């Protein structure tokens, strides 16, 4: 229901603002302002996007909680879409999302409303079903052991029949 209201309200707000601003400063200046905000917004999104990507990589390398940097990156991406959309209301919202203080408040607001049931950073497969499972490759304690053989290949030697699972 909220999404439907947004799809109706935002274009109506934009049309009303275009009419109002166009009446005050004229058509040419109105179009120039819309173009200028798109160009400036693109530049700012590019700069902040690089920094957000570096923050995400840093959080992964330090094994810290990546939710903040990931949310920052998503909000910067969303602000870029808003800034490329012609209009004054969407530009104001897009520029607001480019300010770190506003993004922090939005992140805290969203964090209160979103519940994460579980999160696991480990990887592996559930041997019983051959797909990712709750055990994530750890010994489940049920005594099931999968025995296998391996053969080391010389550095230049390639298999005669590639499995399709690895690059050769």
For 49-101, write each residue's pLDDT tens digit.
999 999 999 998 888 888 889 999 999 999 999 998 889 999 999 999 999 99
Residue 114 pLDDT level (bands cut at 50, 70, 90): confident
Domain ranges in the chain are 34-112
Q: Going along the chain, which residue ranges are E strands?
A: none
pLDDT, position 75: 95
Residue 165 pLDDT level (bands cut at 50, 70, 90): low
Instruction: Please spell the DSSP secondary structure of 63-87, one letter per residue.
Output: T---HHHHHHHHHHHHHHHHHHSSS
Nearest partner of 80 among 52, 112, 114, judged by Cα? 52
Measured between alpha carbons, how far is 136 from 121 in angstroms, rounded to an integer? 10
């Amino acid at each position: 229901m909220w999404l439907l209201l947004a799809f109706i309200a935002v274009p109506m707000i934009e049309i009303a603002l275009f009419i109002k601003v166009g009446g005050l400063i004229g058509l040419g200046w109105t179009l120039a302002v819309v173009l200028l905000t798109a160009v400036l917004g693109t530049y700012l999104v590019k700069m902040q996007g690089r920094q957000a990507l570096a923050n995400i990589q840093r959080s992964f390398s330090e094994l810290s909680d990546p939710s903040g940097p990931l949310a920052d990156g998503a909000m910067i991406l969303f602000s870029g879409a808003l800034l490329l959309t012609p209009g004054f209301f969407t530009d104001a919202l897009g520029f607001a999302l480019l300010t770190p203080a506003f993004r922090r408040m939005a992140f805290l607001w969203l964090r209160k409303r979103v519940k994460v049931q579980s999160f696991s950073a480990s990887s592996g497969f559930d041997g019983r079903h051959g797909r990712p499972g709750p055990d994530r490759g750890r010994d489940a304690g049920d005594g099931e052991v999968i025995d296998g053989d391996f053969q080391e290949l010389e550095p230049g030697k390639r298999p005669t029949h590639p499995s399709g699972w690895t690059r050769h």
